[in-house]
Amino acid sequence: MKKIITILFLFTLTLSAQDMRKNSFASLFSDEKANRVGDAITIVVIESSQATNDARTSTSRDSQIGANFSGDAMGETLPGGSLDLGTASDFDGRGGTSSSGMFKTKISATIDTVYANGNLRITGQRRISINGEEQLITIKGIVRTSDIQADNSVLSYNISEAELVLEGSGMIDRVQSPGWVTKFFHWLF
């Protein structure tokens, strides 16, 4: 009976044995980070932009020409006269623009390509729909594996060749765009 139990025990051990090749890519000393095609990675988007442009031009020009003449001939006084001619030109122009924006979100992306130097090409998309308003957030870019944090996330400013697109559609988008009559007059003038 002992032999049968020993054989059954050894048999169950071989059935539940773990294939070491299956886990050979994982480190025993650190967390597993995304590094293969198809792996998911979290992108923490924190983007802020601000731009200001101010211009001022001021010119002035003033010209005066004048002539006075008088005289006498053979003891008689000739009629005198004067001629004045003047021009003036002033220009004052001002202009300014200001723009700012802030965008914060988290997007899950997948690795599309692993380059020979170890960099990763990522692509991610998120569609949000609330009360008929739809937003589509798309992100693409290249990530260095050293920029991937322990929780398998990357900050958006660490993505090179980053393309971050936020598109919206719905009632608010339609109200903000000009009507067709306004578009027609803008086209004419």
More confident residue, 64 or 161: 161
Burial class for 56, CB neighbours closer than 10 Å (0-12, 13-18, 19+): exposed
SS3 call for 40: strand
More confident residue, 51 or 137: 137
Residue closest to 47 by CA, chosen among 135, 149, 159, 122:
159
- For residue 52 the two structure tokens come to 């200001």
Q: Which residues pair with 142 in a beta bridge?
A: 121, 160
Q: Which residues pair with 97 in a beta bridge?
A: 53
Q: Is the pLDDT of residue 177 over 70?
A: no
Residue 39 makes CB contacts below 8 A (sequence gap 6+) with 110, 111
Distance CA 189, CA 181 (A): 12
Q: Which residues pair with 125 in a beta bridge?
A: 138
Return the pLDDT at 175.
59
Whole-model pTM above 0.85?
Answer: no
Q: Which residues pair with 84 in a beta bridge?
A: 66
Q: Is the pLDDT of residue 29 over 70?
A: no
Distance CA 125, CA 38 (A): 14
Q: Is the pLDDT of residue 79 over 60?
A: yes
Of 5-9, 58-62, 92-96, 127-131, highest mean pLDDT: 127-131
Distance CA 149, CA 43 (A): 11
Contact 66, 16 (CB under 8 A): no
Q: Please write the tens of the pLDDT for every residue from 83-140.
A: 676 777 777 778 777 878 787 889 999 999 999 998 999 999 988 888 878 888 899 9
Q: Is the pLDDT of residue 21 over 60?
A: no
For 139, other C-beta atoms within 10 Å of its C-beta total 22
Contact 102, 91 (CB under 8 A): no
Q: Is the pLDDT of residue 26 over 70?
A: no
Q: Is the pLDDT of residue 61 over 80?
A: no
More confident residue, 156 or 179: 156
